[in-house]
Structure 1
């Protein structure tokens, strides 16, 4: 199944997007609904809240008085942390039960108000944030939900900032317009990106991408950070390091809009063990690619691999994103092998040498003009240049003392 994280600040319009996704066929796991469920009368959750905040948070019939709880719990950071420490584990357990009951081909939309605050974003192959201007959100809370202005601002202040949400957002849905406009944005997102993404994961296929050279995008580093966080969560301790590599990692360099990420592991057996975890994270394996092109003179900063010509030391595993909205190639290579070392070296060498950058961009323009229709053909067409670049890069490393 494909799991999507949906979040947004109070009053931003997240419920409208959630309802739209439900109409489109998504299975909605609503954090707000679950949060109410786990503190209903007679539940352990309500008992814990009473122990922490007193019986003044109860109505006469024994049910939770939510405004009274909010007035207490959002009055300072420590009380808010106490509230979250009680409710979050209960919500998480119930969420897991609902997901386990869904079919294997479902698209699960996890509607989580505090997704950012609880640092859950890396758990999801796709994170969608719904946002609106703060003053507009305050007006909505007053007009439609009966908040006082003071309470509305306190609730907004207690949540993540716009900057924090943007840092985790794969998709940013602005809801400064009408509800109808937001519905149309959500439906377009569902059918143009989410449905193809889910299909690709189900079929264990990467999204099909036609390489196209574009000017350097200053958001590439932030996009890469989200991918790195996602892969760190998927790989855990089995990855020695995970790096943003390739052209999009070089500031100012024109490149095809495909992020390259290298996961360094201790062996190819470990790389194979990661296959299902990476699929769940949205990165199916490309079975047809098992190695890089061996260079005439192997080289590594690890002494035993100096002058290696054995093609075994150029083997790898490769995965690619199933998300058509964020093309990404994940190279899994063994620590210290020549291909792993060169991937790190290449980014440093190109970034430090403007003349190399100009030469490389000229090569890309020639290759792009030749009309290669997939990333594999695009890479193959550049290989002759890389054969020469391999030796030049290591000469630069020797001269500068570069180390990975």
Structure 2
């Protein structure tokens, strides 16, 4: 099952996106509809609201007087917190029932207006945000829905800011244009989601050829969302989760593939995580090219080669390739991934050298048709430079008193 979180500010057009995706085959779970269901006349939910906010929020026919509730619940933070304390458990329990009833191979789209406010993004395979400028949303709410402007602004003020929602978005859909403009973009998203769901079902990872691109300033934000998702999936088994590799070094050319290291207590724990990682969209890759610079890193010592072992997973999402390295806390490979990243950030000359090495390696394999072969040859071409760079990185760490931050 692929779970997608859909959100956006009031008046942004989430219903249009959910309608199109529902027509294409997604199982749509609408939090607003569920919120209405759990407070229908005679429900424990309505009784709980009345107990909290008074009988004045209930109409004579026993239904919820929504304007009366809004007047009481959206006036200040304390009142909203009281409303949420009643509604969130009810909506959560009913949502879980609906999601659990969906087919195992379904794409489940959960339309959640307060997804960002509730910090729920890491629970989903992807978060889709429908984005519309605030003043345009005000106009739509007033002109198209007939909502008083003061009410519209009060509701918007109670929600996350546009910047907060954009920061949470794995996919950002710009709905500022005329009606219908978004349709093609949503259909393209559906193609990505269906391929993603199939990859999760078949435990298929996305592998890309070693082609360098200019540094993308959004890589850190993308990695932040990815690491949050992995922390949630791995729970207490993950001692730390770090963005590593070239995309973690500002300004450095790199393959457009995020690398994340999950530090675990043992390889046995890493093996125990294989199933939950695969379900979360990160199947295990049994065979992986070594990207660790052993044995040069162990010059002066006799480290057991087994201490460089790791477990390797990769993303199933065709829209965001990523590598997930599970390494044991304190083992040489785990330490080196962090030292090397921080050394490159600190040392301009090392960065310049590494870029040239990467460019030469990428050029050497540019004509290779098989992706796995190209990746292996690319890694091998960088090895001679790594032999010396690994020692230099460790010398830098000792000289500066480096500690894993």
Measured against the shorter chain, the TM-score band is over 0.9
Q: CA deviation at 1:240?
A: 0.8
The answer for unaligned runs of 5 or more in structure 1 is: 301-305
The aligned residue for residue 230 of structure 2 is 231
Q: In 1, are the aligned partners of 2:296 and 2:388 still within 8 Å (CA)?
A: no
The aligned residue for residue 262 of structure 2 is 263
Residue 293 to residue 79, structure 1, CA distance change in 2 (3 Å): closer
The aligned residue for residue 54 of structure 1 is 54
Q: Is residue 303 of structure 2 the alignment partner of residue 313 of structure 1?
A: no
Q: CA deviation at 1:134?
A: 1.1
Query: Partner of 1:403: helix, strand, or coil?
Result: coil
1:381-401 per-position Cα deviation (integer Å, ceiling 9, x unaligned): 322322222222222222222
Q: Is residue 164 of structure 2 the alignment partner of residue 164 of structure 1?
A: yes
The aligned residue for residue 130 of structure 1 is 130
The aligned residue for residue 99 of structure 2 is 99
Q: In 2, are the aligned partners of 1:291 and 1:317 still within 8 Å (CA)?
A: no
The answer for unaligned runs of 5 or more in structure 2 is: none
Query: Partner of 2:182: helix, strand, or coil?
Result: helix
Q: CA deviation at 1:165?
A: 0.5
Q: Is residue 32 of structure 2 the alignment partner of residue 38 of structure 1?
A: no
Q: CA deviation at 1:139?
A: 1.4
Q: CA deviation at 1:292?
A: 5.2
The aligned residue for residue 246 of structure 1 is 245
1:233-252 per-position Cα deviation (integer Å, ceiling 9, x unaligned): 11111111111111111111
The aligned residue for residue 354 of structure 2 is 360
Q: Is residue 284 of structure 2 the alignment partner of residue 289 of structure 1?
A: no
Q: In 2, are the aligned partners of 1:294 and 1:314 still within 8 Å (CA)?
A: no
Q: In 1, are the aligned partners of 2:204 and 2:316 still within 8 Å (CA)?
A: yes
Q: In 2, are the aligned partners of 1:282 and 1:322 still within 8 Å (CA)?
A: yes
The residue correspondences of 1:312-391 to structure 2 (distance < 5 A) are 312-370=306-364, 371=366, 373-374=371-372, 376-377=375-376, 378-391=378-391
Q: In 2, are the aligned partners of 1:294 and 1:311 still within 8 Å (CA)?
A: no
Residue 131 to residue 293, structure 1, CA distance change in 2 (3 Å): closer
- What number of residue pairs does the alignment pair up? 398
CA–CA separation in structure 1 for the residues paired with 2:381 and 2:4: 36
CA–CA separation in structure 1 for the residues paired with 2:105 and 2:320: 21
1:255-304 per-position Cα deviation (integer Å, ceiling 9, x unaligned): 1111111100110011011112212221111122386556124549xxxx
Q: Aligned-pair RMSD on alpha carbons?
A: 1.6
Residue 75 to residue 135, structure 1, CA distance change in 2 (3 Å): same
CA–CA separation in structure 2 for the residues paired with 1:308 and 1:24: 58
CA–CA separation in structure 1 for the residues paired with 2:379 and 2:24: 38
CA–CA separation in structure 2 for the residues paired with 1:279 and 1:109: 19
CA–CA separation in structure 2 for the residues paired with 1:350 and 1:65: 60
CA–CA separation in structure 2 for the residues paired with 1:4 and 1:380: 38
Residue 65 to residue 283, structure 1, CA distance change in 2 (3 Å): same
CA–CA separation in structure 1 for the residues paired with 2:292 and 2:251: 27
Q: Is residue 23 of structure 2 the alignment partner of residue 23 of structure 1?
A: yes
The aligned residue for residue 145 of structure 2 is 145
CA–CA separation in structure 2 for the residues paired with 1:366 and 1:234: 37
